[in-house]
């Protein structure tokens, strides 16, 4: 499972340099409301939760992540929002003693890649198939009947390098493998390498993904999301 300890100290810098549009992400989430009790799966440093908490004052919000270093940053960021709680959890062993009517992952643990008119495919930070099945099963146990699971969408991954806001060079390299791909993340300041992080991703074609979700009680809702930001699954 993807652990972002090496990247945590630079995560906000990279993500807020045009990697994601957090206001747009939350717009997409709220389009599928109303929401009351929300779970973010793989909340990282809390950038999405911060935007959500600013705009929704009367909901209960929980964020989970595997990487404690990311949660430490999120805890500092979200300390003024009393509606938000954070927990370090391995999704395959999820145990929160509560249920949710709305959960989402936007690049956190699971997301879909959409390349033009081609069929979406699921990308998971969990490289082992049995652990993905276990993760969806654990999540299902924490979701109420009729609740929604939203999985974010991204464009295709490719090798690239770009200068980010403070002049550092961010780059990434993709290596296909037998079950998906390995992604290498780098951050350089001139000749000095500040950060390197490698994550092993598993992928599933759309049929495989829907079957895995269906087994665990999540049914795909074939409805367009604003700007195709999320694919929606409902708990039966």
Distances (CA, A) of 116 to 113, 147, 183: 10, 29, 21
**Helix axes of 22-30 and 47-55: crossing angle, nearest 10 degrees:** 60
Percentage of residues of the chain with pLDDT beyond 90: 82
- pLDDT tens-digit readout, 118-147: 999 999 999 999 999 999 999 999 999 999
Q: What pLDDT band is residue 93 in, cutting at 50, 70 and 90?
A: very high
> pLDDT band at residue 165, thresholds of 50, 70 and 90?
confident
pLDDT at 91: 95
Q: Is the dihedral of CA 11, 53, 143, 27 positive or negative?
A: negative
* % of the chain beyond a pLDDT of 70: 97
Q: Are 173 and 179 in contact (CB under 8 A)?
A: no
Query: How many other C-beta atoms lie within 10 A of the C-beta of residue 216?
Result: 20
Report d(CA 83, CA 183) in Å as an integer: 34
Q: Answer with the residue of higher pLDDT: 33 or 36.
A: 36
**What stretches of 87-185 show up as alpha helix (H) in DSSP?**
129-141
Q: What average pLDDT does range 63-84 have in this prediction?
A: 96
Confidence of residue 82 (pLDDT cuts 50, 70, 90): very high
Q: In which band, very low, low, confident or very high, does the pLDDT at 34 lie, cut at 50, 70 and 90?
A: confident
What's the pLDDT at 228? 80
Q: Where are the beta strands (DSSP E) in 9-124?
A: 37-41, 60-65, 84-88, 100-105, 110-113, 121-124
61 burial via Cβ count (<10 Å: 0-12, 13-18, 19+): buried
In this model, does residue 224 exceed pLDDT 70?
Answer: no
The CA distance from 130 to 208, in Å, is 13
Average pLDDT over residues 180-198: 95
Which H or E element spans position 76?
A: helix 68-77
Q: Residue 4 above 80 pLDDT?
A: no
SS3 42: coil
For residue 31, pLDDT over 60 is answered with yes
For residues 157 and 209, the answer to whether their CB atoms sit within 8 Å is no
Strand partners, 161: 171
Q: For the segment 95-123, what is each residue's pLDDT rounded down to a tens digit?
A: 999 999 999 999 899 999 999 889 999 99
Query: What's the pLDDT band for 162 if we cut at 50, 70, 90?
Result: very high
Interstrand relation of 143-154 and 100-105 (parallel, antiparallel or unpaired): parallel
Lowest mean pLDDT, pick from 97-111, 154-168, 221-235: 221-235
Encoded tokens for 231:
């694919």
Compute the distance between CA of residue 43 and CA of residue 65 in angstroms, rounded to an integer. 6
Mean pLDDT (the chain, rounded): 93
Q: Which of 56, 57, 85 is nearest to 71 (CA)?
A: 85
Instruction: Parse the chain into domains and list their residue ranges.
Output: 8-155+201-235
Domain 8-155+201-235 adopts which CATH fold?
Rossmann fold (3.40.50)
* Cα 204 from Cα 64, distance rounded (Å): 23
């Amino acid at each position: 499972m993807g652990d972002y300890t090496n990247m945590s100290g630079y995560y906000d810098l990279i993500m807020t340099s045009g990697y994601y549009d957090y206001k747009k992400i939350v717009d997409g989430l709220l389009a599928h409301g109303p929401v009351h009790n929300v779970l973010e799966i793989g909340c990282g440093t809390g950038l999405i939760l911060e935007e959500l908490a600013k705009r929704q004052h009367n909901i209960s919000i929980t964020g989970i992540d595997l990487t404690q270093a990311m949660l430490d940053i999120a805890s500092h960021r979200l300390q003024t929002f009393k509606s938000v709680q954070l927990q370090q959890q391995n999704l395959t062993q999820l145990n929160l003693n509560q249920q949710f009517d709305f959960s989402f992952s936007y690049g956190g643990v699971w997301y879909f890649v959409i390349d033009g008119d081609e069929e979406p495919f699921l990308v998971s930070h969990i490289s082992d198939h049995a652990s993905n099945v276990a993760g969806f099963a654990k999540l299902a146990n924490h979701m109420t009947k009729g609740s929604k699971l939203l999985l974010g969408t991204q464009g295709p991954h490719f090798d690239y390098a770009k200068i980010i806001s403070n002049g550092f060079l961010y780059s990434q390299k993709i290596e296909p493998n037998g079950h998906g791909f390995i992604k290498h993340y780098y951050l350089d300041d001139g000749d000095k390498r500040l950060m390197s992080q490698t994550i092993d991703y598993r992928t599933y074609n759309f049929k495989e993904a829907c079957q895995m979700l269906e087994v665990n009680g999540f049914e795909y809702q074939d409805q367009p999301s604003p700007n195709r930001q999320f694919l929606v699954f409902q708990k039966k």
